[in-house]
C-alpha cells in the first residue's frame, strides 16, 4: 500500500461515507492523472468517425491531448498530441483527414504512423546531427476496440480491456449490440465546459437513479405522454407506457463491479424513455425481436437507465447519449457528448434520434441542464471552509448487495441504491493507493467478496 | 531519354499521385485528367510531393508546410519553398502512363 495522500481516510466504502477533499484537492487531482487516468482504459473515439486512411480525431486521455488516426493499412493508432521538438500542441483541429501532422511552431512534420519525417533547415541548422528516428511521437502503447468503441491505455501492464470491463461488458453489449452491423456516431460531438469535479458526473451516471424523479420532475410532468401533451400530432414518447418505469411495480437492478456501474428498471414492453421522439420509440418497438434474439429479453427490453465505465465514459440507453467527462483540474470538466445509433437504423430514425438526443442531452438539453446544475452547485458550496470538512452520505441500500440467480451478472442491488457509487469510490481508492495492477485487482476483489460473500 | 513505366491510367485517378522509385524519386500526378511529373522530394524539406494535395489550379501543395508548386513548370509559388521542382515529360501510350526521364535518372 502506498497511500501518500491518505485518501483511504477520505473514502469509506464499507460505511458509505466520503469527505469532500476528493473533489477539490489539487494534490489528489494530480495523483488521479497519474494513477487513475494514467492506467485506465479510456474511450478515445468511435470507429465510425475514422472510416478512411488519414482520418483523425483529437481528444484527451485525462489531461493529455491525443490524436487518434486511421493508418494506411486500416489499423488505428493514437499518439500524444505534443510535438517532440519543444512541446507545442501538434494538431489543433478537432477532426479531419490528413497525410501528415505539421507542428505550427517550427514546422517539424510527422507521418500518420507517428515518425518524424521532416525537419525544416535540417542540414543548415542541425548540420545533419539530428537522429530523426529517435524523435517520433509518443504512441499510446495499448489500443483496442470493443464493438465500435476505440479505447486507449497508457499502462503497458494494465489488464486486457475485457478483464478491465468484467461483467460491465454484458451491460455495454445491451447498448452497442442490438442490431446486426453495430452502431455509429450520428452528427458531431457536442462539447462544453462546466465547473465541477469529474467524479460528480461519472458517479451519477454510475449509480444515481435516485435523483431522477425529483431533479427531472418538471420534465417528467410536462412530457408525460398524456393527451394534453399531444396537441401537435407528433408527441414525444408516442405509444408508450404512461407511468415512469420506477412506478410500474416491476422492480429493477443496479450493478457494480470494478468501479463500473449500471442501473435500470424492468419494463413489460420495449419502452424508451418518454423523452425520445415518437419515431424513435416506434423504431425500438419494431426492432425489438432482433434485439431479443441477440441479447435476450432483459437487455432487449432495457431502453433506459444509466451507465458508467470507470472512470469517465458514461451512456444512457434509449436516449442514446454517450459522453466523456474530461477532467480539467479538480474544479472543472469538459463534457463531450456523442449520439449513438444502430448503423442499420433508417436515416429518418437517425435524424429523429439526433433531435431527441440534443433536446434532452445536448448542452441546452432539458435533462442535461438539470444535472449540470446539481454538480456545479455542489462544487460551489465546496469553496466554503466548513463545507470542505463536512462528510457526505453514500449509504443507500448498504448491506443489501447480492448476486442474482437470473443471469443478470455482477454485484447487484435494487435500482435506487448507492452500491455502484460505493464500488466506484472503492475502485478509485484502490487505484490511488496501489503501485501495481496486481494490488489494484486484489483489493477490488476483496471488497466485492465482502459485499456478496463470494 | 529513358521511358519509364509508371502505372496503368486506371490506377492513377484525378486528384491522385504516384511515386516511382527512380533516383531521384519522381512523383506523377493526375490533375483533372492531365498527367504531370515532378521531382518527388520537396525543395524545402524531406516531404514527398506524391503525398501532397493536388489542387484545382494545377498546383500541388506540400503535405508538410504547404508550399505550392506549379504542376506544369515545377515553379515554387509560395513560402516556405523558394527553389523550383524539376519537371519530367509524361506520355500516355494505350492504357499506360510513362515518364520520359533523362539518362541520369536511373530506374
Ligand atoms: S515545437 Fe514543434 S517544431 Fe518546435
Ligand atoms: S517540406 Fe515541403 S514545404 Fe516544407
Ligand atoms: Fe439526470
Query: What is the tens place of the pLDDT at every residue in A79-89?
Result: 999 999 999 99
Is there a contact between A452 and A402 (Cβ–Cβ < 8 Å)? Answer: yes
Q: Which chain B residue lies closest to A120 (C-alpha atoms)?
A: B45
Q: Which residues contact A369 (CB under 8 A, 6 or more apart)?
A: none
The DSSP-derived string for A139-153 is: B-SEEEEETTEEEEE
Question: pLDDT grade, residue A237 (50/70/90)?
Answer: low
What ipTM was estimated for this complex?
Answer: 0.84
- Measure the N-to-C terminal CA separation of chain A; round to a whole number of Å: 23
H/E stretch holding A300 reads helix A297-301
Q: For residues A185 and A231, state if they share a domain.
A: yes
A106, A173, A195, A238: the active-site residue: A106
pLDDT 10s digits, A117-140: 999 999 999 997 899 999 999 999
Query: Strands, DSSP E only, in A267-405?
Result: 306-309, 313-316, 321-327, 333-342, 392-393
Is there a contact between A172 and A307 (Cβ–Cβ < 8 Å)? Answer: yes
Q: Which chain B residue lies closest to A106 (C-alpha atoms)?
A: B65
Q: Is the CB of B89 under 6 A from ligand 2?
A: no
Stretch A210-214: mean pLDDT = 94
Structural domain of A61 = 42-145
Q: Answer whether residue A150 is part of any domain.
A: no
Statement: residue A226 has pLDDT above 70 = no
Task: Look at residue A276 in the predicted model and tell me its pLDDT.
Answer: 84
Q: Answer whether residue A79 is part of any domain.
A: yes
Stretch A317-329: mean pLDDT = 97
B residues 26-85 lying closer than 8 A (beta carbon) to A: 42, 44-47, 51-53, 63-65, 80
Task: Look at residue B2 in the predicted model and tell me its pLDDT.
Answer: 85
Cβ distance A120 to B52 less than 8 Å, yes or no, reads no
Q: Answer whether residue A15 is part of any domain.
A: no
pLDDT 10s digits, B9-50: 999 999 999 999 988 899 999 999 999 999 999 999 999 999
Q: Answer whether residue A12 is part of any domain.
A: no
Q: Cα separation of A162 and B27, whole Å?
A: 46
Report the percentage of chain B scoring pLDDT > 90. Answer: 87
Mean residue pLDDT of chain A comes to: 94
Q: For residues A251 and A351, state if they share a domain.
A: yes
* Chain B environment of A117 (Cβ under 8 Å): 46-47, 64
Report the percentage of chain A scoring pLDDT > 90. Answer: 88
Task: Look at residue B104 in the predicted model and tell me its pLDDT.
Answer: 65
pLDDT 10s digits, A158-187: 999 999 999 999 999 999 999 999 999 999
Task: Look at residue A363 in the predicted model and tell me its pLDDT.
Answer: 92
Task: Look at residue A219 in the predicted model and tell me its pLDDT.
Answer: 84
Statement: residue A238 has pLDDT above 70 = no
Q: For residues A275 and A171, state if they share a domain.
A: yes
Phi, psi (degrees; rounded to nearest 5) at B90: -115, 140
Residue from B97, B73, B92 nearest B84 by CA: B73
Q: For residues A100 and A54, state if they share a domain.
A: yes
A46, A216, A306, A326: the active-site residue: A216
Q: In what order do the strands lie in the sheet with A392-393?
A: A11-12, A17-18, A392-393
Cα A179 off chain centre by: 21
Query: Which ligand does the CA of A83 lie closest to?
Result: 1
Q: For residues A187 and A138, state if they share a domain.
A: no
Residue nearest to atom 4 of ligand 1 (CA): A106
Residue from A86, A87, A90 nearest A100 by CA: A90
Stretch A198-206: mean pLDDT = 98
Q: Cα separation of A119 and A101, whole Å?
A: 12
Q: Residues A105, A107, A110, A111: what is their CA dihedral angle, to the nearest 10 degrees? A: 130
Instruction: Count how many domains chain A has.
Output: 2
Statement: residue A350 has pLDDT above 80 = yes
Q: For residues A132 and A183, state if they share a domain.
A: no
Greater confidence (B60 vs B107) lies with B60
Stretch A23-51: mean pLDDT = 98
* Chain A environment of B80 (Cβ under 8 Å): 107, 120
Q: For residues A128 and A177, state if they share a domain.
A: no
Q: For residues A410 and A306, state if they share a domain.
A: yes
Q: For residues A418 and A285, state if they share a domain.
A: yes
Q: For residues A388 and A440, state if they share a domain.
A: yes
Q: Answer whether residue A18 is part of any domain.
A: no
Statement: residue A225 has pLDDT above 70 = no
Q: Which chain A residue lies closest to B47 (C-alpha atoms)?
A: A118
Q: Answer whether residue A24 is part of any domain.
A: no
Question: pLDDT grade, residue A236 (50/70/90)?
Answer: low
- Model-level pTM? 0.94
Task: Look at residue A90 in the predicted model and tell me its pLDDT.
Answer: 98
Chain B contact present for A117, CB below 8 A? yes
Domains for chain B: give ranges and CATH numbers: 2-105 (2.102.10.10)
Amino acid at each position: 500500500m502506498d497511500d501518500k495522500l491518505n485518501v483511504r481516510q477520505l473514502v469509506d466504502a464499507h460505511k458509505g461515507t466520503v469527505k469532500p477533499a476528493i473533489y477539490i484537492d489539487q494534490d489528489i487531482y494530480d495523483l488521479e492523472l497519474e494513477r487513475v487516468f494514467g492506467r485506465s482504459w479510456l474511450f478515445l473515439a468511435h470507429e465510425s468517425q475514422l472510416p478512411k486512411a488519414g482520418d483523425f480525431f483529437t481528444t484527451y486521455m485525462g489531461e493529455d491531448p491525443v490524436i487518434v488516426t486511421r493508418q494506411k493499412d486500416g489499423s488505428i493508432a493514437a499518439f500524444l498530441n505534443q510535438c517532440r521538438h519543444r512541446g507545442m500542441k501538434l494538431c489543433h483541429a478537432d477532426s479531419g483527414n490528413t497525410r501528415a501532422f505539421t507542428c505550427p511552431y517550427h514546422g517539424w512534420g510527422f507521418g500518420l504512423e507517428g515518425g518524424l519525417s521532416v525537419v525544416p533547415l535540417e542540414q543548415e541548422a542541425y548540420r545533419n546531427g539530428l537522429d530523426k528516428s529517435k524523435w517520433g511521437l509518443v504512441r499510446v502503447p495499448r489500443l483496442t476496440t470493443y464493438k465500435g468503441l476505440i479505447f486507449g491505455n497508457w499502462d503497458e501492464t494494465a489488464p486486457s480491456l475485457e478483464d478491465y470491463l468484467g461483467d460491465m461488458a454484458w451491460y455495454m453489449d445491451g447498448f452497442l449490440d442490438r442490431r446486426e452491423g453495430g452502431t455509429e456516431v450520428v452528427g458531431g460531438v457536442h462539447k462544453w465546459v462546466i465547473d465541477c469535479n469529474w467524479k460528480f458526473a461519472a458517479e451519477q451516471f454510475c449509480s444515481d437513479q435516485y435523483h431522477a424523479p425529483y431533479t427531472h420532475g418538471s420534465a417528467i410532468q410536462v412530457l408525460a405522454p398524456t393527451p394534453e401533451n399531444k396537441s401537435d400530432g407528433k408527441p414525444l414518447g408516442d405509444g408508450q407506457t404512461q407511468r415512469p418505469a420506477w412506478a410500474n411495480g416491476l422492480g429493477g437492478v443496479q450493478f457494480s463491479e470494478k468501479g463500473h456501474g449500471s442501473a435500470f428498471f424492468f419494463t413489460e414492453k420495449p419502452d424508451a424513455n418518454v423523452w425520445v421522439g415518437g419515431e424513435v420509440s416506434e423504431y425500438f418497438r419494431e426492432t425489438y425481436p432482433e434485439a431479443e434474439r441477440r441479447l435476450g429479453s432483459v437487455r432487449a427490453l432495457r431502453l433506459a437507465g444509466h451507465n458508467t465505465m470507470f472512470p469517465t465514459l458514461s451512456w444512457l440507453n434509449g436516449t442514446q447519449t454517450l459522453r466523456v467527462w474530461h477532467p480539467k483540474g479538480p474544479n472543472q470538466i469538459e463534457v463531450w457528448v456523442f449520439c449513438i445509433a444502430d448503423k442499420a437504423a433508417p436515416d429518418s430514425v437517425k435524424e429523429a434520434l439526433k433531435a431527441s438526443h440534443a433536446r434532452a442531452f445536448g448542452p441546452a438539453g432539458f435533462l442535461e441542464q438539470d444535472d449540470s446544475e446539481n454538480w456545479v452547485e455542489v462544487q460551489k458550496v465546496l469553496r466554503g471552509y466548513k463545507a470542505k470538512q463536512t462528510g457526505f452520505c453514500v449509504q443507500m441500500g448498504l448491506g443489501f448487495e447480492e448476486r442474482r440467480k437470473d443471469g443478470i451478472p455482477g454485484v447487484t442491488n435494487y435500482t435506487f441504491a448507492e452500491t455502484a457509487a460505493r464500488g466506484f469510490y472503492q475502485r478509485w481508492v484502490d487505484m490511488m493507493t496501489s503501485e501495481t495492477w496486481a494490488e489494484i485487482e486484489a483489493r477490488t476483489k476483496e471488497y466485492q467478496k465482502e459485499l456478496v460473500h463470494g | 531519354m529513358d521511358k519509364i513505366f509508371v502505372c496503368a491510367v486506371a490506377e492513377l485517378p484525378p486528384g491522385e499521385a504516384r511515386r516511382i522509385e527512380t533516383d531521384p524519386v519522381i512523383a506523377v500526378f493526375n490533375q483533372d485528367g492531365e498527367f504531370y511529373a515532378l521531382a518527388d522530394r520537396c525543395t524545402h524539406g524531406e516531404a514527398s510531393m506524391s503525398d501532397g494535395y493536388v489542387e484545382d489550379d494545377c498546383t500541388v501543395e506540400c503535405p508538410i508546410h504547404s508550399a505550392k508548386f506549379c504542376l506544369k513548370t515545377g515553379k515554387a509559388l509560395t513560402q516556405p519553398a523558394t527553389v523550383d521542382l524539376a519537371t519530367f515529360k509524361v506520355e500516355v501510350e494505350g492504357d499506360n502512363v510513362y515518364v520520359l526521364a533523362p539518362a541520369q535518372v536511373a530506374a
